[in-house]
Amino acid sequence: MNINARRNGLRVVIVGGVAAGASAAARARRLDESARITVVERGPDVSFANCGLPYHVGGEIADRSRLAVHTPESLSALLDIEVLTHTEVTKIDRKRKVLEVRGVKTNSCRELAYDRLILAPGALPLRPPLPGVGDPRVFTLRNLQDMDRIKAAVERAESALVIGGGFIGLEMAEQLRRTACAVTLVEAFDQVLPPLDPEIAAPVAQELRAAGVALVLGDPIAGFAEDSGRLTAELKSGRRVQADFAVLAIGVRPESELAAAAGLELGARGAIKVDRFMRTSDPDIYAAGDVVESFDRLTGTPMNLPLGGPANRQGRVIADHIFRPETARPYPGHLGTAVVRVFDLVAGTTGWSEKRLRDAGRAYRATVVTDHQHAGYFPGATPLTVKLLWSPEDGKLLGAQVVGADGVDKRLDVLAAALAGGLTIDDLAELELAYAPPFGSARDVVNTAGFAAQNVRDGLVRTVDSPPEGYAVLDVRPVEAVTTSPVPGAVNIPYAELRSRLGELDRGRSWLAVCALGKTSYFAARVLTQAGFEVVGLAGGLRVRPQATAKRAEGDVNDLPPKPMVKSFLAVETATGTMTLDCTGLSCPGPLLRVKAACETLRPGAELAVTASDPGFANDVEAFARSTGLELLGVERTKGVVSARLRRPAVPIRGGAGSNASLGEPRRKGATAVVFSGEMDKVMAALVVANGAAALGGHVTLFFTFWGLNALRRGQPVATSGKSFLDRMFGRMLPRGLEALPLSKLNFLGAGRRLMKHQMASKGLPNLPGLLGAARLAGVRLVACTMSMEAMGIRPEELIDGVEFGGVADYLESAERSGTNLFV
């Protein structure tokens, strides 16, 4: 049926295409073949995939034509509607129900009558009035033409600047990095993905850096200038960042000027107010998509949400209400479900975030858990972190966030459906989700999150986001994990040993139990609670909240250089074969320990191919190769799985100055040091050197004599008998253990020591107990001089476990064997 033949049909004019407008047009035609439908679009394209624009810039969507869902001709033919492109609506005459339209190319004007009007003009990218923002090298991204301009700029550029770390900004940064551009991303907030909570957004920042994107956080853009022919971004702090071009991705604003001029009611932020059937303040005018102020599905509060999914559904609601009002279903409101992929990581959110709940003054509880996306024993298991926000009154879900390498969208969709259905944490615990080893676990991470929330609600454990004032920290991770990433000032008792070592803990103190993922610390908290201790757990564990016990110095986040893109494997053929090792599903230090054991059996020329899902394994395996004289042939990351290939050289090559440190034998044989000083900073220096020498595979001995013996003393007094008066006096006057050692300078009766410990902890630097634990694990010999012990009245039982006892001959033999001798 030709549109001109529909003389008596309802005249529906739609301003704007893409998601909301095209959806309304398609649904309207399906409901009424007699309707006279006209779509008016200012640009040349009426229906295109605007969410796919960044992916064509980066070449991931190679064929540009695939972004054009419909051409004006194909949409007109498919729906038998009138499509007017390059046509701008300049005025709405509500009394006469007439639009004034102008041809963009011809500048000719005419009138277009309507019975029902649908406004779907979308939103405009924010372009604030900053100095230099009009520079032609400063782009925004809204349509195919913007995309073409950015893509053309990429072809002649070596560097790019992205302003804004939201969803679009991250997609642009990822895709620009794919083009081999050097990319810097600037975000005004102190985290990427500001709508998400910090512990969920932090892994995304790490992923960006790992892929070579330089991050500048907490420093808003102040303007643009030109310096030596290059575009220069000037930040509020005074910092200057140069690039060949920039993309502004700092948000959008509703394009509601036409509605405002027509007298339609707008919301507080300039979006068009609509009711639940998407009607504006004029009952014959509807609006949908990025331009409208709808409402939050959970609370009913006004909300503008520029997302494609809601826009598409709103267009359908409008058509239903126009043509079938008796059966039309109202729009239920927004949940705000959104997801983004950033290289090998995916993050998403639905419902309310903790920040929104806190700012709104709403009562809530937060639960964070980490588990694998499928059975841990099945190859390719990678960590998945889920955060739940729920009501303490009735357990109803208020919001959720998920981050991980795989399976994020599946869990996010489940949680969005749970929110829409008003489910509680009890319902989440009992959800029956699809399970087979390649797809999930018998207890899915969503179930685990529900269980963890139940434990908190039922009073089985109290969790905190950071250490409460005055609490001592109990680290229940294995010794191997503690030595690689110690918690400053923490007491380490592995969970497996906790029940038998409760006597080592002060019952008069309150304790914070920590572990990597929060699960083991919960187990520990249950043991301690039932033993009468006051204890809380760190929500989500140290992986989720790495700064909870050791905060980075302010500003450091912007000073970290981006890591280079990971290396690809070299094509190496070996006659002796390759050993394969699957360490996916294992947490640190599990993968490294298994690699170490496997490499001990490698023959010269043989290779080891290993896969692991622990996020820190990429760095660990490089350090391991350097310290053991193995060749690291390559490291790759794919969807959260790190694949590394190691080879034992057929002929060891001794490393020299400028040589590849990962080839051949270690360059040093080890070290021997006399630790004469009993001062904190000097003992720390000795331990740092010892750990470094041990990492290079050498034989290391620390020979403690006179005041240095104080570093080996136990922190608590040990009952002894038969000591002389002077021996007892020495014991009382001298520092007892590592924590009591003074500084060599500026000690100030212990105040300087405490200040130095705080300074090191705030910067995430290792502490003395951590360094000592690492040295013992690495096989460093701790030898106490027996002559000095006798002189100072120190008995063997007063020293920590694992100390050997020797004299001058032991020291001289060790020095000769190591080839390096130090005096501290």
> How would residue 759 be classed by pLDDT, with cut points 50, 70 and 90?
low
pLDDT of 215 strictly over 90 = yes
Question: CA angle, corner 748, sides to 747 and 752, nearest 5?
Answer: 50
Reference 182, options 221, 212, 143; nearest CA is 212
Name the phi and psi angles at 126, rounded to 5: -65, 130
Strands 182-187 and 159-163: parallel
pLDDT of 462 strictly over 50 = yes
- Residue 640's pLDDT is 79
- Residue 564's pLDDT is 40
> Cα–chain-centroid distance for residue 692?
30
- Residue 752's pLDDT is 73
pLDDT of 639 strictly over 50 = yes
Q: What are the tens digits of pLDDT across the range 13-39? A: 999 988 899 999 999 999 999 999 999
Domains, the chain, in order of start with CATH, read 3-124+254-323 (3.50.50.60), 138-250 (3.50.50.60), 344-457 (3.50.50.60), 492-562 (3.40.250.10), 566-667 (3.30.110.40), 670-823 (3.40.1260.10)
Q: Which of 413-417, 477-481, 775-779, 789-793 has the highest mean pLDDT?
A: 413-417
From 85-89, 108-112, 499-503, 581-585, the region with the lowest mean pLDDT: 581-585
Q: Which two tokens stand for residue 547?
A: 């700064």
150-153 contacts at long range (C-beta below 8 A, 24 or more positions apart):
150/57, 150/245, 150/247, 151/56, 151/57, 153/244, 153/245
Reference 735, options 719, 749, 746; nearest CA is 749
Other CB atoms within a 10 A radius of the CB of residue 228 amount to 6
- In this prediction, residues 632-651 reach a mean pLDDT of 85
Q: Which two tokens stand for residue 61?
A: 């969507």
Comparing 249 with 803, the larger pLDDT belongs to 249
Q: What is the identity of the amino acid at 766? A: P
Asked if residue 176 lies in contact with residue 518, where contact means CB atoms within 8 angstroms, the answer is no
CA of 44: how far to CAs of 12, 79, 86, 395, in Å? 21, 18, 6, 50
Q: What are the tens digits of pLDDT across the range 275-304? A: 999 999 999 999 999 999 999 999 999 999
Give first-to-last CA distance, the chain, whole Å: 95
- The residue with tokens 């239903």 is 320
- In this prediction, residues 765-774 reach a mean pLDDT of 76
Strands 245-248 and 159-163: parallel
Asked if residue 276 lies in contact with residue 325, where contact means CB atoms within 8 angstroms, the answer is no
**Helix and strand numbers, DSSP H then E, in the chain:** 25, 40
Question: CA angle, corner 393, sides to 392 and 396, nearest 5?
Answer: 75
pLDDT of 407 strictly over 80 = yes
pLDDT of 370 strictly over 80 = yes
> How would residue 697 be classed by pLDDT, with cut points 50, 70 and 90?
low
- What's the length of the chain? 824
Backbone φ/ψ region at 454: left (φ over 0), alpha (ψ -120 to 50), beta: alpha
Backbone φ/ψ region at 722: left (φ over 0), alpha (ψ -120 to 50), beta: left
In the residue annotation, 588 being an active-site residue is answered as yes
- Residue 621's pLDDT is 82
For the chain, give the mean pLDDT.
87
- In this prediction, residues 419-428 reach a mean pLDDT of 97
- Residue 199's pLDDT is 92
User: Beta-strand (E) ranges in 613-769?
Assistant: 631-638, 641-647, 670-675, 699-704
CA of 613: how far to CAs of 29, 574, 757, in Å? 50, 26, 33
From 372-386, 666-680, 759-773, the region with the lowest mean pLDDT: 759-773
Q: What are the tens digits of pLDDT across the range 614-629? A: 777 777 788 778 767 8
Q: State whether the Cα torsion 757-763-766-769 is positive or negative.
A: positive
HSE, side-chain direction, 13 A CA sphere, residue 579: 20
Residue 305: CB partners within 8 Å, gap ≥ 6? Answer: 294, 334, 336
Given the residues 181, 588, 599, 785, select the one marked as catalytic: 588
Other CB atoms within a 10 A radius of the CB of residue 266 amount to 19
Cβ-count burial of 484 within 10 angstroms (0-12 exposed, 13-18 middle, 19+ buried)?
middle
Strands 510-514 and 472-475: parallel
Q: What are the tens digits of pLDDT across the range 327-369? A: 999 999 999 999 999 999 999 999 999 999 999 999 999 999 9
CA of 17: how far to CAs of 38, 51, 64, 173, in Å? 11, 14, 19, 27
Reference 695, options 795, 780, 817, 786; nearest CA is 780
- Residue 204's pLDDT is 96
Comparing 441 with 734, the larger pLDDT belongs to 441
Q: What's the CA gap between 567 and 634, in Å, rounded? A: 6
Q: What's the CA gap between 111 and 102, in Å, rounded? A: 9
> How would residue 408 be classed by pLDDT, with cut points 50, 70 and 90?
very high
pLDDT of 730 strictly over 80 = no
Q: What are the tens digits of pLDDT across the range 144-179? A: 999 999 999 999 999 999 999 999 999 999 999 999
CA of 124: how far to CAs of 90, 291, 419, 796, in Å? 17, 9, 30, 76
516-538: burial string, b at 16+ Cβ within 10 Å, e else: bbbbbbbbbbbbbbeeebebbbb
> Cα–chain-centroid distance for residue 4?
56
Three-state secondary structure call for residue 431: coil
Q: pTM higher than 0.95, yes or no?
A: no
- Residue 474's pLDDT is 95
> Cα–chain-centroid distance for residue 525?
27
> How would residue 699 be classed by pLDDT, with cut points 50, 70 and 90?
confident
Q: What is the identity of the amino acid at 524? A: A
Q: What is the DSSP string of 272-328?
A: EE--TT-B-SSTTEEE-GGGEEEEBTTT--EE----HHHHHHHHHHHHHHHH-TTTP
- Residue 654's pLDDT is 47
Q: What is the identity of the amino acid at 75? A: L
Q: What's the CA gap between 762 and 123, in Å, rounded? A: 43
Q: What's the CA gap between 683 and 688, in Å, rounded? A: 9
- Residue 567's pLDDT is 39
Comparing 502 with 487, the larger pLDDT belongs to 502
Name the phi and psi angles at 248, rounded to 5: -85, 120
Reference 389, options 428, 338, 351, 333; nearest CA is 351
From 534-548, 643-657, 671-685, the region with the lowest mean pLDDT: 643-657
Q: What are the tens digits of pLDDT across the range 782-811? A: 999 888 888 888 888 888 877 888 887 777
